[in-house]
Structure 1
């Protein structure tokens, strides 16, 4: 699975990491839905950290992204506009 963080690049995550990724994304969705600023920041930071723990795709390689995450400085208000009932990561 390839995940892009806007403004940073792409990371490759193993397929077996998808359940963990979805669990972190679910926590983010809950915080955003509740309007919980602290929970949002904690969950979003955890999601970005998890993705960054994957294998960085070299900048000179371009792959279709399976998921695209907003930049790390996104706000709760911006996230509300982006997040769907499935979170940021579909699946």
Structure 2
């Protein structure tokens, strides 16, 4: 698929692989991302872990596995499910893990 035909994003979950996620899923993923960011800002480990898992599961559910035989660059990179709050904090941009 050429860059001009591409719709959506390629999202990598570290240690797991890449997923093709359509633009129609981004609003929901941004909601899940906001919960991760809120837990980190509050220093709430009890809320952080389920929020991160929900975000990763949202990507898995909304996306299809990206072809393994291609060498496409990821548009976004998410931490693995076992990442610490400090690890995820270091990956956060001004608008979270998922821009928008």
Deviations for 1:7-36, whole angstroms, at most 9, x for unmatched residues? Answer: 111001111111111111011100011001
Taking the TM superposition and a 5 Å limit, the aligned residue runs for 1:64-79 are 64-79=73-88
Q: CA offset at residue 58 of structure 1? A: 2.2
Deviation at 1:77, TM superposition (A): 1.9
From 18, 21, 36, give the equivalent of 1:10.
18
Distance 1:71 1:45 in 2: 9
**For 2:13 and 2:40, how far apart are their aligned partners in 1?**
19
CA distance in 2 between partners of 1:62 and 1:40 (Å):
32
Length-normalised TM-score, structure 2:
0.84
Equivalent pairs counted in the alignment come to: 91
Q: What 5-or-longer segments of structure 2 have no aligned partner?
A: 1-8
Alignment RMSD, CA only?
Answer: 1.1
Relative contact order higher in (CA < 8 Å, ≥ 6 apart): 1
